[in-house]
Structure 1
């Protein structure tokens, strides 16, 4: 038993509190999924670690879910989620309040990949903050140009530029870690995610690990929670690799188009449209390719408006209601 754990430290919010019944408060326990094994879930509660056998009568659950169990640690129900990452019907992680999208400012900088991550976070109904790392490897002018490219994705998007060697920039980032909030991190391999985490918390510290044997929920500065999982890391790698291979396919097809300035919309002799019609290429991949090759001058930005999805997300009534409950 670890009496030092409280629900608030595990990321408990008013959104979940309002789903509780009188029986839940008087006779049941509240716990959060911290590991998913083939035959059981590991749950973290105020009473410590709980093992819950997986049964066909239960809903599928994932890292971050909140669960109600009875006094015998038997499943009662799962609480409604405030956010969810899933891909191809696979549950990846849930109930994240804020997602840090980490991107390096060096030669690996990829604006299209940042867009893809923003789409994932938007679909998950979480808030996004873009963290641009390795600022010490670029001159100030290059940093500002790349930062401006990211800001064009959404004027309301929060962006932080950090140098992991500078305590000042890291302290500014810690200001986003609010008590009781759950943070997740996305980013391609080499973006600096691991180094960033090591700069923020000591993974070998027992206090960081809630003093129990689990590897998905960690204490962050200011009382927030870091949610991590193998599935989340695999999602990052898959997103990074698929963006490159898919664009190469579109580029090779585009070379076969009848017109050099083909927009792959409705021109005759378009090899890209032909591949889409024959089911050899996804329309979504072509649209992503076109966004990646779009010019970032003011006129083209006004014409194509490729970022409306992210701008609208800032004004989503559903998300506004959800977040108003967690304050």
Structure 2
């Protein structure tokens, strides 16, 4: 047995413990999938790294799944999942508790993309925390934060400057023993810098003693789950958000006026598309945020709402603690 790996190190929680039988506890081993290959799975356990050959009687599994194996290291069963990221029938990752949605506050800020990530996390039944980076490059941090908060008044949001040498204590406070964390965000949002601020992937205590590239130790006993499939999911979400922007822009070309703001002008093709149900209003709002400046009236409204959102955030933080 590898004394450097424990079940809790791998993200073990009560939810999974409750699924075990007496026979599981006495005669079987528990392992977590850390790599999916065409003909086999690789799993991490207290006994080290296991290889499990794919068989027709097995359910399809993905990175993050918990599996019961017997003493001969043969498949017994898969435990029920607490969360699942998938695209159709394609499994991406499972049993992720918390997802950090990383978005930069500079000119690449994209509320529609944040909403796409938030919807992905919500559909997977995981918890979301939005991390707004590059605060030092933004003159409207509060306004953009309020825009994100309106996605959900109880959504947790942290604003960080990842260039700072200060430890990210606010984020580390969310990492609890047995919790599994994933990070989503578009290229250039600051994900890699954020990870380096949280943990040094080259440090021995970060790596499990067995060679694999999906599970890493985070501060306070949490686990970071990363995989090529999860990164591909991020890229697809970013491409979809960009396509939405292009869709609205293409419709806007049909507006009667070249300087149409898509607010109340006659002959506005964008408003007509919304009224006819051919275009969602939130996509138009995201497009306008990226194209036009807010009016003083909108800014004032945001400031009024900010106080209410702050109270909601404080209550949610209290519950998290």
Given the two structures, how large is their TM-score scaled by the length of structure 1?
0.82
Please say if residues 245 and 287 of structure 2, whose CA atoms lie closer than 8 Å, have aligned partners that are also in contact: no
Aligned equivalent of 1:122: 122
Residue 137 of structure 1 corresponds to 137
Q: Which residue of 2 aligns with 1:193?
A: 191
Question: In the alignment, is the contact (CA less than 8 A) between 2:216 and 2:224 conserved in 1?
Answer: yes
Partner of 2:148: 150
Of the structure 1 ranges 163-172 and 114-123, higher mean CA displacement relative to structure 2 is found in: 163-172
Match of 2:283 among 281, 289, 308: 289
Q: Is the alpha carbon distance of 1:203 and 1:299 closer, same or farther for their aligned partners in structure 2, counting shifts above 3 Å?
A: closer
The answer for the alignment partner of 2:92 in structure 1 is: 92
CA–CA separation in structure 2 for the residues paired with 1:265 and 1:108: 26
Match of 1:264 in 2: 273
User: What's the CA shift for 1:294?
Assistant: 6.6
In structure 1, the residue matched to 2:66 is 66
In structure 2, list runs of 5 or more residues that go unmatched.
257-266, 303-311, 313-320
Contact 1:162 1:169 in 2 (8 A): no
For residues 163-242 of structure 1, what are the structure 2 equivalents within 5 Å?
163-168=161-166, 170-242=168-240
Matched residues in 1 for 2:172 and 2:288: separation?
34
Quote how far apart the aligned CAs of 1:2 are.
2.0
Question: Alpha carbons of 1:158 and 1:214: their partners in 2 closer, same or farther (altered >3 Å)?
Answer: same
Q: Deviations over 1:270-293 (max 9, x none)?
A: xx84xxxxxxxxx6xx45523424
Any conservation in 2 of the 1:39–1:53 contact (CA below 8 Å)?
yes
Pairwise CA distance, 1:251? 2.6
How many residue pairs align between the two structures? 288
Partner of residue 307, structure 2:
none
8 Å CA contact retained: 1:161, 1:169: no
Kindly tell me: are residues 221 and 33 of structure 1, through their superposed partners in 2, closer, same or farther at Cα, counting changes over 3 Å?
A: same
Q: Is the 8 A contact 2:167 2:197 kept in 1?
A: no
Note the alpha carbon deviations across 1:280-315, whole angstroms, 9 max, x for none: xxx6xx4552342477849999xxxxxxxxx9xxxx
Q: Which runs of 5+ in 1 are unaligned?
A: 274-282, 302-310, 312-326
Residue 168 of structure 2 aligns to a residue whose secondary structure is helix
> 8 Å contact 1:9–1:223 — kept in the other structure?
yes
CA contact (8 A) 1:163 1:169 kept: no
RMSD: 2.5
Distance 1:187 1:153 in 2: 17
Q: Secondary structure at the match of 1:238?
A: helix
Q: Does the CA contact (< 8 Å) of 1:104 and 1:191 recur in 2?
A: yes
Is 1:15 aligned to 2:24, yes or no? no
What is residue 6 of structure 1 aligned with on the other side?
6
1:159 to 157, 160, 167: 157
SS in 2 for 1:136: helix
Q: 1:133 to 1:298 in 2, by over 3 A?
A: closer
